[in-house]
Amino acid sequence: FVYVRGAMRKLVNPKLFGRPSIGLARFGCTNRPFFQICVFPDRALGRRHEGSIIEQVGTFDPLPNAHNEKLVALNIERVKYWIGERNVHVSVPVLELLGLSGLLPLHPKTFIRARDNREFIAANEAQRTAEAAAAAAAAAA
């Protein structure tokens, strides 16, 4: 039996587990996040940490750069291997990134997020035009 440290002690059957997972591992420093897209072992073996990384498969910089871009790097060949051959579990943020890159279809969450963003921008625009109109009316009056 394998003991899992961390939360409640639970026994994991080694014969049944073995599905690795691809997720974002946060590196960087305070107020400066930077994610490495890594392959971790089974989720039951404890929460993901730097020592348990099997392989690094990409990077993701969440802060936009000078051209207002968020840079993502992906090792497509290795990702295909892990997803196709080894049947890994992929976390939702990584699924979104893969969808945006074109390897997989767009994740449902991306659509929801896009719609929310659109509504937010529209609301902002409406508010700004309303304020401009109010200011113009106040100036005219």
CA atoms of 141 and 8, how far apart (whole Å) = 69
The answer to whether 85 contacts another protein (rule: CB under 8 A) is yes
User: Which residues is 59 bridged to in the sheet?
Assistant: 36, 73
Q: Which stretch binds another protein (CB under 8 A): 26-34, 50-58, 75-83, 121-129?
A: 75-83
Q: Which of 113, 111, 109, 110 is nearest to 121 (CA)?
A: 113
| Start-to-end Cα distance in the chain | 81
CA atoms of 54 and 65, how far apart (whole Å) = 29
Q: Which of 26, 55, 52 is nearest to 38 (CA)?
A: 55
The answer to whether 97 contacts another protein (rule: CB under 8 A) is no
Closest CB 4 distance from another protein, rounded Å: 12
Closest CB 141 distance from another protein, rounded Å: 39
Q: Could you say which of 2, 32, 87, 128 contacts another protein (CB under 8 A)?
A: 87
Binders of another protein among 4-43, rule CB under 8 A? 7-9
The answer to whether 112 contacts another protein (rule: CB under 8 A) is yes
Q: Which stretch binds another protein (CB under 8 A): 41-49, 52-60, 79-87, 129-137?
A: 79-87
Q: Which stretch binds another protein (CB under 8 A): 21-29, 39-47, 80-88, 124-132?
A: 80-88
User: Which residues is 36 bridged to in the sheet?
Assistant: 25, 59
